[in-house]
Amino acid sequence: MPSYTACQQANTSFNPSFVPTMVITGSISEIGRSMVEIIARHLNGRIHIVLVGRNKSVAEAIIASLPLSNDSTYEFMYCNVMLMKNVHALAKELSAKLPKLNYLVHCAGVFGLGGRDETEEGINSRLAARYYSRFALTNDLLRL
Ligand SMILES: NC(=O)c1ccc[n+]([C@@H]2O[C@H](COP(=O)([O-])OP(=O)(O)OC[C@H]3O[C@@H](n4cnc5c(N)ncnc54)[C@H](OP(=O)(O)O)[C@@H]3O)[C@@H](O)[C@H]2O)c1
């Protein structure tokens, strides 16, 4: 595992010649929100970020606070990742609109203990957001 200093140096020197595209779930609170804000700030707004989440008004407030450049694109897409049908629909929409994807960040998740219960799709609800949705979204977006 690289040292923290090596990570900091790599981040500081990150200056891509292209405008990166990033899709991030769990984007409107805590860790996800911080990642959105930090990368947008670091690249002076030279990035396309798709903020995936469940609260449009919070997402819009975050977007309004992000730095702007001629190359900035910030947009919100709704998705409840508990259901795989929603994840597949999101992936379909993303595939139709994006020519490529540089970063896919899986931050949606809920911490939960206790026994097994199932979503209406019959999968373990404790793993739906933290595992199955992440695999499904990655798999569906491999072409990008
Ligand atoms: N903080 C820690 O110490 C820690 C440690 C280990 C792992 N993690 C993991 O890191 C990730 C982010 O943690 P955090 O502390 O930033 O957690 P957080 O503040 O609870 O954020 C979780 C995010 O996931 C979203 N989310 C939850 N269920 C969702 C669903 N069904 N569909 C769509 N979005 C959903 C939430 O959106 P809403 O606002 O719509 O609920 C929220 O934006 C989580 O996966 C967490 O398990 C965190």
What tens digit of pLDDT does each residue of 5-38 get? Answer: 999 999 889 999 999 999 999 999 999 999 999 9
Q: Which residues of the chain have pLDDT under 70?
A: none
Nearest CA to ligand 1 atom 6: 111
Bridge-partner residues for 91, per DSSP? Answer: none
Distance CA 8, CA 139 (A): 30
Structure token pair of residue 4: 């923290």
C-alpha–C-alpha distance, residues 77 and 86, integer Å: 11
Q: What are phi and psi of 106, to 5 degrees?
A: -100, 100
Among 3.90.650.10, 3.40.50.720, 2.40.40.20, 3.40.30.10, name the CATH number for the domain at 16-140. 3.40.50.720
Our answer on whether the CB atom of 20 is closer than 6 Å to any ligand 1 atom is no
Between the CA of 116 and the centroid of ligand 1 the distance, in Å, is 20
3-state SS class at 20: coil
pLDDT above 90 coverage of the chain, percent: 91
Is there an atom of ligand 1 within 6 Å of 55 CB?
A: yes
